[in-house]
A and B are shown apart, each in its own frame.
Chain A
């Protein structure tokens, strides 16, 4: 009996789910317009408007399906008598990267990519609203607004060194605290470990967190990283405050980006630009760099 049980237990342990490749026939889809627009208080590399189209699911193409030939403006708002006014005289034109001349630091970027609209001279400030206007070559017009909230700063940080990791370096556990104000706040944090260049596009970061102050409002909120960093690492933290609609978009984006398996819930992101997929987000950035002990 013991012998049988032993053999059988091995059988169970080696048993795991199997998988095989299958053919799935999906009908062709109509392309939809996708807009990713960002304005921020910290870096000109994070002010951009990316415009692309969706592609059929099984189309053998994993590139950015950019849309060229669009006219793109971003206008800062001014508050006059409790109304926000966007004056055309103050607007900035964002030009397709492939049409821009040489920009210091961006020399090496492939000019063949279309659909990335930039203006290296544009700067954004906290407590300001921005208007995005896009006119496409086919005549479609898209408009969206965002507001950059006040910057929230990280109050204190702590690093706990505990044990040696797989690469033989110290395990560095990071935690920090910040003071959440009485108003409702939404946060989005991007991390970049051992950066070797500027952060161009939020997608160039390594990891992200999107959260709000649902559980602790108007108090000190602690954040702790469960996975250790390595001794000697340099970590750039972009700790940002964003608006509620923008938060709702990035929250749904996070769920859409990590969606799979048997209990995946099919769903589409909560866009905050009418008529397209995507978001126009204004970021109030608090930047912090840490170098962990060797």
Chain B
């Protein structure tokens, strides 16, 4: 049956009608919760009604709404790290309470872990979901004095790091391109700076980070494995504040303050590395023409337009720039630059106390350029991806049993695989691989239904309509990878490959008692755009490619089951989760594929499937002088492609049988605090050569010896395990000054305390004299102390 838009709207309409029919006439309390000192909205703060033992939490914009029968109540507003407020009300009409909350001044404030609802872990339908704050990321031990969001999230169970020198992360057996990385709702296609050593997120501007690795609600989609939602701060609307930090390789500076006190604010944050500047005096003349640096800028503005409307603007611009000048050939010069740009315009509108609406218009772009001049040759190659995106999301606070969300999300993708312009002697080069365009429209509806005191259900459906459209010209190639001269062309907006897909989602919670619950979830996800990479890690030249006639959308199902238990008045959270996740239409590239400027890229692809399953244990202590967590994952991840490894399944490169992370924070006194991290992971699975042979043989007649080039023969894919990865880091934070006007602290970190040599890669070298081939392991970071200085005034 062909599913049309009409069918979907009929479905959604009837779904909402059923919900509405069950709604009763009551009064509503609604409003925003904000931090009194800065005006920042508080996400996930709780509002409890003492008399009814019911309550709610603020949404990701800090808005809440509660429907209650007429009566006298005491509302309790609470948010970890803030003073709990009790507000008595007489409810005889719809009431708006915009509550400002005050920071609780005590020693444990420095190590606030999250702003979660105390028992949200147990009671909400959300599972496989983690939150972490910008402040917490800053407190962790760091390398080179640079706190990093993506490094921090890999300390959570089920989220694995690709290792040092990689910001790619792997969620429940998924690849790095299967994570939707959002910065204030804008997609970030390449989250790394410095070839993957650092991420694009400036921690001075980050408010909180939300990771969904399973049980994905219907309002999220677009990627198979996870959603990483990075929310940036709005800026202080009460007073002007300057934040800064000086690290070993980069410095950060941000300024924020009211545009109109209490009503609007701005935030500007910038960062730049200065290794190039520092290194310049030490470089020999030969290397003076070479440099590498990156910078990024965040800009955010926030306007309160009365009780019902809020307007936000968020922008990001970042660039990595590498210059190379050949020391031996003055005419050889090479520039490589890449980066993301995003802009988000967001409007929150409260239609009435029960209906909240967010509308966002987003532009994002990732691009790469490469200029090369050599003698009479000059080339410029550009590639990238660009999206225009509109979102319209509604939250309908129907009654205390139902909260519905529905909306749509439309994206227009433009893929630029490669544009080559230049001159070679007298020849003008002007080649372009045909651009590709695609529409992606998603409509969704979901209901968070409190069935009774024990059962909560979140059920939803997301319908996605993907259409790759013209203008597009496809060159036909033969088996020898040669163009046949035949071309197929599509006109503007003519459909090339249309994929309508349904994604049902469900999550059920059964409350055993106030402290414990069992949760189960099912998620079906499709992914229509794919990263073309052969390295398994994210790299600046990697291309994003659309689903087409040949490239089918990726598909994953995920089944998860968990037991959640809190102890000691919610001070301790524990959980056990198991998951099973088959993945289909997975993409790999044939060995030695050329990805860059390849007219026939689809011919290099092979298609297969993946499977991941595992067990995740999590213990977390949320309050007190000592906080932190221990996460353990036991898992297995494989891939199977008919055309690879003789059709046999093989381990995913980042398959990690055991993965442990320990994070401990301790506050000694007002001046000193400590953070400790330990990680352990089974070594990556790699393919190693099993044999070799001499080829391109020649005979040097004068020297009377053969000239041989040795070539490796590779065996089964990912059949060898690198040694395990483990490491411990520690950091101490010393608050040097803390007054209302001036605050500064020093962060002293030691990375890799016991100097573990963790494998980065293995290579082999023949020793001609001894007639031997030796194996060498390269490791990146030995024990490495660093210091960073942060200030605020």
State how many angstroms separate the Cβ of B156 from the closest Cβ of chain A. Answer: 25
Residues facing A in B693-717 (CB within 8 A) are 693-702, 704, 706-715, 717
Asked if B97 CB lies within 8 Å of chain A CBs, one says no
Asked if A226 CB lies within 8 Å of chain B CBs, one says yes
A62 and B144 contacting across the interface, CB-CB below 8 Å? no
Cα of A277 to Cα of B694 in the assembled complex, Å: 11
B709 and A257 contacting across the interface, CB-CB below 8 Å? yes
- Contact partners of A60 in chain B: CB under 8 A: 770-773
Q: When A26-B690, A201-B698 are in contact, do A216 and B427 touch as well, CB less than 8 Å?
A: yes
- Contact partners of B165 in chain A: CB under 8 A: 262
Q: When A57-B689, A268-B591 are in contact, do A203 and B696 touch as well, CB less than 8 Å?
A: yes
- Contact partners of B689 in chain A: CB under 8 A: 26, 57, 266
State how many angstroms separate the Cβ of B530 from the closest Cβ of chain A. Answer: 18
- Contact partners of A219 in chain B: CB under 8 A: 427
Which single member of A160, A200, A256 contacts B701 (CB below 8 Å)? A200
State how many angstroms separate the Cβ of B217 from the closest Cβ of chain A. Answer: 36
State how many angstroms separate the Cβ of B604 from the closest Cβ of chain A. Answer: 11
Cα of A220 to Cα of B376 in the assembled complex, Å: 15
Q: When A56-B691, A62-B768, A65-B694 are in contact, do A268 and B714 touch as well, CB less than 8 Å?
A: yes
B376 and A175 contacting across the interface, CB-CB below 8 Å? yes
B692 and A54 contacting across the interface, CB-CB below 8 Å? yes
A52 and B425 contacting across the interface, CB-CB below 8 Å? no
- Contact partners of A50 in chain B: CB under 8 A: 697
Which single member of B431, B693, B770, B776 contacts A52 (CB below 8 Å)? B693
Asked if A20 CB lies within 8 Å of chain B CBs, one says yes
A62 and B710 contacting across the interface, CB-CB below 8 Å? yes
Q: When A13-B279, A24-B688, A62-B771 are in contact, do A113 and B248 touch as well, CB less than 8 Å?
A: no
- Contact partners of B424 in chain A: CB under 8 A: 222, 224
Asked if A189 CB lies within 8 Å of chain B CBs, one says no
B782 and A18 contacting across the interface, CB-CB below 8 Å? yes
Cα of A226 to Cα of B377 in the assembled complex, Å: 10
Cα of A32 to Cα of B694 in the assembled complex, Å: 12
Q: When A60-B772, A269-B711 are in contact, do A55 and B691 touch as well, CB less than 8 Å?
A: yes
Asked if A102 CB lies within 8 Å of chain B CBs, one says no
Digit string of A40-84 for contact with B (CB within 8 Å is 1, else 0)?
000000000010111111101111110000000000000000000
Asked if B624 CB lies within 8 Å of chain A CBs, one says no
A160 and B698 contacting across the interface, CB-CB below 8 Å? no
Chain A binder among B322-330, B605-613, B668-676:
B322-330
Instruction: Identify which of A163, A252, A266 gathers the most chain B CB atoms within 10 Å of its CB.
Output: A266
Q: When A65-B694, A110-B704 are in contact, do A256 and B711 touch as well, CB less than 8 Å?
A: yes
A26 and B688 contacting across the interface, CB-CB below 8 Å? yes
Chain B binder among A146-154, A191-199, A234-242, A286-294:
A191-199
A19 and B279 contacting across the interface, CB-CB below 8 Å? no
- Contact partners of B711 in chain A: CB under 8 A: 253, 256-257, 269
- Contact partners of A208 in chain B: CB under 8 A: 696
B279 and A262 contacting across the interface, CB-CB below 8 Å? no
- Contact partners of A106 in chain B: CB under 8 A: 701
Chain B binder among A4-12, A119-127, A129-137:
A4-12
- Contact partners of A269 in chain B: CB under 8 A: 711
Digit string of B771-793 for contact with A (CB within 8 Å is 1, else 0)?
11111111110101011010000
Which single member of B329, B761, B786 contacts A262 (CB below 8 Å)? B761
Asked if B249 CB lies within 8 Å of chain A CBs, one says yes
B696 and A17 contacting across the interface, CB-CB below 8 Å? no
Cα of A175 to Cα of B424 in the assembled complex, Å: 11
State how many angstroms separate the Cβ of A1 from the closest Cβ of chain B. Answer: 8
Cα of A24 to Cα of B760 in the assembled complex, Å: 15
State how many angstroms separate the Cβ of A173 from the closest Cβ of chain B. Answer: 6
Asked if B455 CB lies within 8 Å of chain A CBs, one says no
Which residue from chain A places its CB closest to the CB of B705 in the assembled complex?
A110
Asked if B71 CB lies within 8 Å of chain A CBs, one says no
Asked if A285 CB lies within 8 Å of chain B CBs, one says no
Digit string of B573-595 for contact with A (CB within 8 Å is 1, else 0)?
00000000000000000111100
- Contact partners of B242 in chain A: CB under 8 A: none
Q: When A4-B787, A216-B427, A257-B696 are in contact, do A263 and B535 touch as well, CB less than 8 Å?
A: yes
Residues facing A in B131-172 (CB within 8 A) are 144, 165
State how many angstroms separate the Cβ of B445 from the closest Cβ of chain A. Answer: 44
State how many angstroms separate the Cβ of A18 from the closest Cβ of chain B. Answer: 6
Cα of A173 to Cα of B330 in the assembled complex, Å: 11
Asked if B220 CB lies within 8 Å of chain A CBs, one says no
- Contact partners of B774 in chain A: CB under 8 A: 21
- Contact partners of A13 in chain B: CB under 8 A: 278-279, 282
Asked if A255 CB lies within 8 Å of chain B CBs, one says yes
Residues facing A in B107-142 (CB within 8 A) are none
Q: When A108-B704, A109-B704, A203-B709 are in contact, do A267 and B697 touch as well, CB less than 8 Å?
A: no
Asked if B539 CB lies within 8 Å of chain A CBs, one says yes
Cα of A110 to Cα of B429 in the assembled complex, Å: 50
A252 and B592 contacting across the interface, CB-CB below 8 Å? yes
Digit string of A239-273 for contact with B (CB within 8 Å is 1, else 0)?
00000110010011101110111111111110000
Which residue from chain A places its CB closest to the CB of B785 in the assembled complex?
A11
Residues facing A in B413-448 (CB within 8 A) are 420, 424-427, 429, 431
Asked if A105 CB lies within 8 Å of chain B CBs, one says yes
- Contact partners of A34 in chain B: CB under 8 A: 693-695
State how many angstroms separate the Cβ of B705 from the closest Cβ of chain A. Answer: 8
Q: When A12-B278, A256-B592, A262-B761 are in contact, do A57 and B712 touch as well, CB less than 8 Å?
A: yes
Which single member of A261, A265, A277 contacts B693 (CB below 8 Å)? A277
Asked if B482 CB lies within 8 Å of chain A CBs, one says yes
Which single member of A17, A52, A198 contacts B760 (CB below 8 Å)? A17
- Contact partners of A63 in chain B: CB under 8 A: 694, 706, 708
Instruction: Identify which of B713, B766, B779 gathers the most chain A CB atoms within 10 Å of its CB.
Output: B713
B701 and A198 contacting across the interface, CB-CB below 8 Å? yes
A262 and B760 contacting across the interface, CB-CB below 8 Å? yes
Cα of A50 to Cα of B698 in the assembled complex, Å: 10
Cα of A29 to Cα of B693 in the assembled complex, Å: 12
Q: When A17-B778, A201-B698, A255-B592 are in contact, do A261 and B763 touch as well, CB less than 8 Å?
A: yes
Which single member of B248, B431, B591, B720 contacts A265 (CB below 8 Å)? B591
Lowest 10 A-B CB distances belong to which pairs? A267-B591, A204-B698, A203-B698, A201-B698, A266-B687, A9-B278, A262-B761, A54-B691, A197-B701, A263-B535
Known: A175-B376, A197-B702, A203-B707. 8 other contacts (CB 8 A): A27-B690, A55-B691, A58-B772, A197-B700, A201-B707, A226-B332, A260-B763, A265-B593
25 of the cross-chain contacts (CB-CB < 8 Å) are A18-B757, A18-B778, A19-B777, A19-B779, A24-B688, A24-B720, A24-B775, A27-B715, A56-B690, A57-B689, A171-B329, A173-B331, A173-B375, A196-B702, A200-B699, A201-B706, A224-B377, A227-B328, A227-B329, A228-B328, A244-B480, A253-B695, A257-B711, A262-B535, A264-B763
